[in-house]
Amino acid sequence: MRIVMMGTGHFAEPTFVALLQSRHTVAGLVANPDRPSGREREMVRTIKKIALAHGVPVFQPEKINSPEGIAGLRAFAPDLLVVAAYGQILAPEVLAVAPLGGINVHASLLPKYRGAAPVAWAIYHGETHTGITIIRMSPQMDAGDILAQEIVAIHPEETAGELEARLAEVGARLALQVIEQLESGQVRAIPQDPTQATRAPKLKKEHGLIDWSRSAPQVVNQIRAMQPWPTAYTFWHRAGKPPLRLIIRKARAVPGNSSAIPGTIVKVSPDTVEVASGDGLVALVQVQPAGGKIMEITDFLRGHRMAVGDRLGAETL
């Protein structure tokens, strides 16, 4: 089968590699245009580097649904489009370029968590399981018929980045399985129940601002969900000094409660900082001050004097 891979983010890479190692012909890679990304501000995505290393042509239209985008895709003469973390919604005219249409590798148990950030929102909402769904693509985002699905447990301390990497490997395996079924005509399509659909919108920087009024486990879930981007952050308010922005890299819920205002520091020792939440206490484990490096809380406390009664919260309380 002649396949065009459409993907931009890291989540797409295992599927792309699996296709390159399969018996199928990968006619091309369609990705978003090169833009600075990641902490190193790299211009060229890893998936593009993989394509070039294997001699696979790369097409990077600004808008895939434009006449130029559709013409460029049609030039690959694909039988099937395989889409993962591409970053653009495909119009019916794009899907019609391939006789078999397109399949999408989605990192949730659809119809739950339709949207751009399913892994982060699953962790944010305290899910203990998520998974991979392969769907037949339709004009409505993430609403196509389910062709395959696999449940994956979420580890208790796993971040969104760590979970996404595991899910990407599962997605690669399931995508190849579905391609074989499509080729043999044995694929089974199950319509989604739209009444069970939930949303997973694209993350914004403001989603990282920690809401200390939530329960301790919910605060910890937010911290896990916001890594690697936009990261969970708060502002440390202390007497006589301006608020300091702190990225909270790791925290845990600990036994106990407090009647203090959520976000108030209620315990400080040489190796512990505990913060009141809406229900329970949160112990800070790893922090990163603005412009600084990631530090264990013990190292941070050696150079910063946190005190009981200091507040964590929005920049303006």
If asked whether residues 47 and 89 sit together in one domain, one would say: yes
Among 136, 169, 196, residue at a domain's last position: 196
Percentage with pLDDT > 70 across the chain = 97
Kindly list the distances between the CA atom of residue 127 and the CA atoms of 124, 138, 172, 281, in Å, as whole numbers in the listed order.
Answer: 8, 27, 23, 21
Starting at the edge strand found earlier in the chain, the sheet holding 80-84 runs 58-59, 25-30, 2-7, 80-84, 102-106, 129-136, 146-153
Mean pLDDT of the chain: 96
Task: Let me know: does 61 contact 37? Beta carbons within 8 Å.
Answer: no
Do residues 101 and 182 lie in contact, with contact meaning Cβ atoms separated by under 8 Å? no
Q: Which domain covers residue 159, as residue numbers?
A: 2-196
pLDDT at res. 40? 44
Phi, psi of 132 (to 5 degrees): -120, 135
> % helix / strand / coil in the chain, to the nearest 5?
30, 30, 45
59 and 113 together in one domain: yes
In sign, the C-alpha dihedral spanning 139, 65, 113, 314 is: negative
Count of domains for the chain: 2
CATH number at residue 278: 3.10.25.10
Mind listing the pLDDT tens digit for each residue in 196-225? 999 999 999 999 999 999 999 999 999 999
Kindly report the number of other CB atoms within 10 A of residue 264's CB atom: 20
Q: Please, which pLDDT band fits residue 35 given cuts at 50, 70 and 90?
A: confident
Are 178 and 32 in a shared domain? yes
pLDDT at 64 exceeding the cut of 80: yes
Chain segment 255-284, per-residue pLDDT in tens = 999 999 999 999 999 999 999 999 999 999
CB 252 within 8 A of CB 280: no
Give the CATH number for residue 118.
3.40.50.170
Residue 267 burial (CB count, 10 A): 16
Given a cut of 80, whether residue 17 has pLDDT beyond it is yes
